[in-house]
Amino acid sequence: MRALGATAANAWQVSAEAVSLLRPARPARPITLAASPQRLTLDLARTALVVIDMQNDFCHPAGWLAGIGVDIAPARTPIAPLRTLLPVLREASVPVVWVNWGNRPDRLNLPPGVLHVYDPTGEGRGLGARLPGQDGGVLEAASWNAAIVEELSPPPGDITVAKYRMSGFWDTELDSILRNLRVDTLLFAGVNVDQCVFCTLTDAACLGYDVVLLEDCAATTSPGFCAQATVYNVRQCFGFTTRSTDLLAGIAA
C-alpha cells in the first residue's frame, strides 16, 4: 500500500488491488492556556497559525502605507512577538499559513467596491498603483510590495496563500488547504486586526473552525477603539483571545 494525498494528515492508502480510506491516526497533543472569555484547552495536533498581511506595503517604512502618510508603527508591533512564537510553533509541527494580498497586475478579479476601499477618489493611489520609487504595483503578486517583511521571511516549510478581499477565504484555496491539513483550531495574527484579520477570522468561525485571536500578534493602524471593538466581538461572538506569551507558557508546560 502506498500513501496517496497532498498531506500526511489526509492520505489514503492505495494499491492495485485495494484502497483504504482510513486516515493516519494522530495522537492528541493538548495544551491549556490562559484566554478570554475562559481558560482554553486546544490540541496542537489539530491547530494552525494564520498570519495575515504582514507585508512590506503595510509594515515597511518604504512601503505603500508609509508612503501615503500612514503611521505604520502599530503595524510593526506584531513582528517581535511573532519572531519569538514562530520557531516554537514550527518545532511543535504546527502549520504556519501566511495569507497576503497578492493581486493580479491587471486587477481583473477586483470589483470596484474593493478598489474603492483603497482609492476612494479614483486618483490611482490604491491597489496596483505604481508609486514613486517602487518597481511593482501596490500589493501586486510577486512584487517587493506584496512580500512578507524581511524580519518574518518564512522558511520553505511554511504555506502561503494569496488573497483578493478583506477575507482570506473568498476566491482562494485557503479552506481547501486547511481541510487537507485536517486542522480544527486556527490561531490568528497579523494586520489590520479590525479589517482583514477580523474578516478572515469571522469567516473561519462561520465555516466551523475554532478561532483564537493572538492579541499581541495582531495590530491595526486604525484608531485604538477599532482594536478594542474587535477584541470584544471576537470574545463575545466568535471565539477566544489570548496572547503569545500565554500560548508559549501552555506549550512549555
Give the model's pLDDT for residue 180: 97
Give the model's pLDDT for residue 134: 78
Give the model's pLDDT for residue 124: 87
CA of 122: how far to CAs of 12, 47, 99, 105, in Å? 51, 41, 27, 17
Give the mean model confidence (pLDDT) for residues 182-210: 98
Is 0.85 surpassed by the pTM of this model? yes
Q: Where are the domains of the chain?
A: 26-252
* Average pLDDT, rounded, for the chain: 97
- pLDDT tens sequence across 30-64: 999 999 999 999 999 999 999 999 999 999 999 99
Residue 121 has pLDDT above 90, yes or no: yes
Give the model's pLDDT for residue 135: 79
Give the model's pLDDT for residue 203: 98
Give the model's pLDDT for residue 133: 77
Give the model's pLDDT for residue 190: 99
Instruction: Evaluate the CA torsion angle 212, 248, 41, 22 in order and state its sign.
Output: positive
- Which CATH architecture is the domain 26-252 placed in? 3-Layer(aba) Sandwich (3.40)
Residue 71 has pLDDT above 80, yes or no: yes
Catalytic residue ranges: 53, 163, 196
What letter does residue 55 receive in the DSSP assignment? B
Residue 233 has pLDDT above 80, yes or no: yes
Alpha-carbon distance of 102 to 105, in angstroms, equals 9
- pLDDT tens sequence across 154-169: 999 999 999 999 999 9
Give the model's pLDDT for residue 249: 98
Give the model's pLDDT for residue 131: 81
Residues pairing with 206 in the sheet: none
Alpha-carbon distance of 30 to 107, in angstroms, equals 43
Give the model's pLDDT for residue 132: 80
Give the mean model confidence (pLDDT) for residues 160-180: 98
Return the beta strands (E) in 47-154 as ranges: 47-52, 96-101
In the block, cell 474593493 appears at 114
Give the mean model confidence (pLDDT) for residues 174-186: 98
